[in-house]
Amino acid sequence: MFKFPFVYVISSGSLTAGTSSAITQVFSSVKDFKLRYIRSTGNSDMTLSINEVSGNNFTSAALNTSLIGGVTNNGVPVMDDIIIPKGTQIKFTFTNGGASTVTEQLQLWGYEV
């Protein structure tokens, strides 16, 4: 059976210096999502925290998005299968620590299973 890749795109929106934006992504209510690859725009002044809306954290501290994307880094493949159950709500909090206005985009590549 052929699987078509699927990507969830989460955008911070335009963030001025020192501001944050929390985006809640609701995953498909019909199919689970098998995460295979993570990529971001990779702004060096942008950090990202990830947690379930129910409270479980996926990052112990905010991470710099340049570590998972940008000009010199094309993203991070996922080493083990990560299945995000259908209907899961995950909150992505972007924080602009720089002096200029920036927009960040996070891409979650994988398959609906």
Residue 3: is its pLDDT beyond 80? no
Q: Provide mean pLDDT across the span 50-61.
A: 89
pLDDT number for residue 76: 87
Query: Are the C-beta atoms of residues 104 and 46 closer than 8 Å to each other?
Result: yes
Residue 104: is its pLDDT beyond 90? yes
Query: Are the C-beta atoms of residues 71 and 13 closer than 8 Å to each other?
Result: no
Closest CA to 100 of 43, 8, 16: 16
pLDDT number for residue 78: 87
* HEC assignment per residue over the chain: CCCCCEEEEEEEEEECCCCEEEEEEECCCCCCEEEEEEEECCCCCEEEEEEECCCCECCCCCEEHHHHECCCCCCEEEEEEEEECCCCEEEEEEEECCCCCEEEEEEEEEEEC
pLDDT number for residue 1: 61
Residue 18: is its pLDDT beyond 90? yes
Tens-place pLDDT, residues 70-88: 766 778 888 888 999 999 9
pLDDT number for residue 22: 96
pLDDT number for residue 106: 94
Domain chopping of the chain, boundaries: 6-112
Closest CA to 95 of 9, 8, 15, 25: 15
| Average pLDDT of the chain, as a whole number | 90
Cα separation values, 30 from 34, 36, 81, Å: 13, 19, 19
Q: Which residue has the higher pLDDT, 20 or 43?
A: 20
CATH 2.60.120.230 fits 6-112, yes or no: yes
pLDDT number for residue 101: 94
